[in-house]
Amino acid sequence: MSRIQGYAKNAYPLANFLAPLRGARYTAQLMKLIRELTFPLIAILAAFLVGGILVALIGDDPIQTYALLIGSALSWPDGIGYTLFYATPLIFTGLAVAMGFRCGLLNIGAEGQLTVAAFATAWAGISFANSSAWMLIPLTCLVAIASGALWATIPGVLKARFGSHEVINTIMMNFIAVGVASALTQTYFKQQGDPILETLPIGDGAHIPRIGQIIPGIPARIPLNMAFVVAVLACALMYVFLWRTKWGYEIRATGANPNAAEYGGISVKKQIVLAMAVSGGLAGMVAINEVLGYRYRYYQGFSPQYGFTGIAVALLGRNHPAGVLVAALFFGALTRGGLFVDIFTEKVSKDLVLILQALVILFVAAEAVFRRRMGKTESQV
């Protein structure tokens, strides 16, 4: 018998021995996935149940209200088109907050980061308005990412160098971002006689195409644009970055246990700055949707708290890119459906959407209580 045949003969028993271990590993992974999906679904169902009770208490029909809420968000083409449009900025901010969470950081400054990015993007689109689209679109996209990343790097450095808490720093920088953007717009970029605080329009070459120009059947009035495709790609790239690269592993290790990461040779300070920079860059990509694909200018107050809603999206999505995508679509559907609930119901307003969002956050936050009780039950058994 040759040496190779001998190796093959000895390999079969080893393979047979490892097969159950592989099956057990896959089973454990499947059970973990089921557990991760169970609590967000329970949170959503519980939120709808409590919301339905509130609707009934004020004298409206919960079934008809929810049918209107869901049906208007899923109708074709307007419902789905606007749902995807409303979800696009939430995907970016949800990813931004999730990136911070993965490193053990709470980035509450996504609102300021996307504000700075929107103004910087508009500035680039105005300053280089005569450039061709082949140069202007990539340039403005890079400006959006870089400006958001730079703005987030400041609290990251303060955290890494001086131990200053990122929550306080990012909150304060939200106000600074709005003030700086407003002052610069009012002083240098506002059109004469315009009563609205907004910049001049960006060059036509900076406009990214709308989905309706590419996919037949979607009307041009629906503002869904290629930023949604960019958002989906950002989800995929974030997954690859976090789970398939050395940098992502070090960020996750720092978030899991900074002391153990430091002991293992990982620079915790470097990971803090890197995570905040990537988080800010993701938040800044909101400008691609708002400035390059929708308003074509910086508009004061364009964000209905995208940065703060992104926290809820990240929590509901379990800080995973795929979960963030699904959670953002859910919140986008609520936003779209809430408009019709406000119009076509007698006593329920679009504030029902805010109530449902708040209830989802509360039930997701209460997950730790349920886990402790489940752990006690299992230990008793």
pLDDT on residue 378: 44
For residue 34, the one-letter residue type is: I
| Model confidence, pTM | 0.89
- Cα–Cα distance, 203 to 122 (Å, whole number): 9
Digit-coded pLDDT (tens) for 197-221: 999 999 999 999 999 999 888 898 8
pLDDT on residue 68: 92
Q: Domain limits of the chain?
A: 86-361
Q: Are 264 and 253 in contact (CB under 8 A)?
A: yes
pLDDT on residue 380: 46
- Cα–Cα distance, 224 to 204 (Å, whole number): 18
- Cα–Cα distance, 241 to 252 (Å, whole number): 11
Question: Looking at domain 86-361, which of 1.20.1250, 3.20.20, 1.10.3470, 1.10.10 is its CATH number?
Answer: 1.10.3470
* 297 DSSP 8-state letter: S
> How close are the terminal C-alpha atoms of the chain, in Å?
54
Q: Are 227 and 88 in contact (CB under 8 A)?
A: yes
Task: Tell me the DSSP string of 194-251.
Answer: -SS-BBPPPPGGGPPPBGGGTSTTS-TTS--BTHHHHHHHHHHHHHHHHHHSHHHHHH
- Cα–Cα distance, 145 to 283 (Å, whole number): 8
Alpha-carbon distances, residue 380 vs 330, 372, 375, 377 (angstroms): 37, 12, 9, 5
pLDDT on residue 145: 98
- Cα–Cα distance, 288 to 115 (Å, whole number): 12
Task: Tell me the DSSP string of 311-350.
Answer: HHHHHHTTT-HHHHHHHHHHHHHHHHHHHHHHHH-SS--T
> pLDDT tens, position by position, for the chain (381 residues)?
444 444 444 444 544 544 555 566 667 666 776 777 788 888 889 999 999 999 999 888 999 999 999 999 999 999 999 999 999 999 999 999 999 999 999 999 999 999 999 999 999 999 999 999 999 999 999 999 999 999 999 999 999 999 999 999 999 999 999 999 999 999 999 988 888 999 999 999 999 999 999 988 889 889 999 999 999 999 999 999 999 999 999 999 999 999 999 999 999 999 999 999 999 999 999 999 999 999 999 999 999 999 999 999 999 999 999 999 999 999 999 999 998 988 888 888 888 888 998 898 888 877 766 666 555 544 444
